[in-house]
Amino acid sequence: MSKQSITLKVNRKTCFYLAYALLMFLSLIFKPKIGISMLLVEYIIAFIKEMGYMGIFITMTLESALVPIPSEIVVPFSGFLVTQGYFDFWHIVFISSIANLTGSIIAYFIGLKFGRAFVIKYGKYLLIKEEIIIKTEELFRRWGDVLIFFSRITPAVRTVISLPAGFSKMDLNKFLLFTFSGSLPWNFMLTYAGYILAHNWVFVANILESYELFFILLVLFIFIRHYILS
């Protein structure tokens, strides 16, 4: 690639960032209400009600098995429903943690049986970038087995870390112990966050309605920046 082409690409990115920043700034100033955020919240809550504990288990298993389903949405809204009597707080914590363990075992054996080259080649179809795999491998080599525990409370890394554990043929019993014990505090925090969210819903709903376009633009920017422009 020529120097001129690189410069043009950088300039386009810079223009995009500046234009997007201006758009986000204007959304904070004018606070347009488009009604999407509350509809989305209502849909998520209704969906979680319908799927129950089994649905929580399935979605959290898939998340830990590298399917891009965010626990940061499913578990907090399950905690939200604790206040309405639909779920039990500790049932959510333990079911989510067991699901994380189940999905992590699947990811571990994918790394163990198929290897690094296979994961890098096909991981893109699950939005797993090669850079993330390389980063987690470096962290795993530096910190060793104990990283499995601490990574469970680290977004992005928490699911992918099972792969280098499989690549390196980490002792399975240690992997199971560190995975489950690390998943417990993560799911406790997410469930508790949803519980607190429910008790402050009037305030939170007002914030969502006032700044919903800003939040939508922010999420969209993170996705574009991470998966398209990087």
* pLDDT tens column, 149-182: 888 887 767 778 888 888 888 889 999 999 999 9
Please name the residues in contact with 129: beta carbons below 8 A apart, sequence gap of 6 or more.
123, 226, 227, 230
* pLDDT tens column, 12-71: 777 777 887 888 787 778 777 777 777 778 888 888 999 899 999 999 999 888 887 777
With H, G, I as helix, E, B as strand and everything else as coil, classify residue 37.
Answer: helix
CB 155 within 8 A of CB 189: no
Token pair for 39? 């509809």
CA distance 123 to 145: 23
Please name the residues in contact with 215: beta carbons below 8 A apart, sequence gap of 6 or more.
37, 208
* Of residues 129, 128, 154, the one with CA closest to residue 139: 154
* Of residues 127, 161, 134, 128, the one with CA closest to residue 146: 161
Tokens 């994918």: give the residue.
110
Per the model's pLDDT, the better-predicted residue between 57 and 211 turns out to be: 57
Tokens 């990574």: give the residue.
151
* Of residues 105, 96, 94, 99, the one with CA closest to residue 61: 99
* Mean pLDDT of the residues in the chain: 82
pLDDT reading at 217 higher than 70:
yes
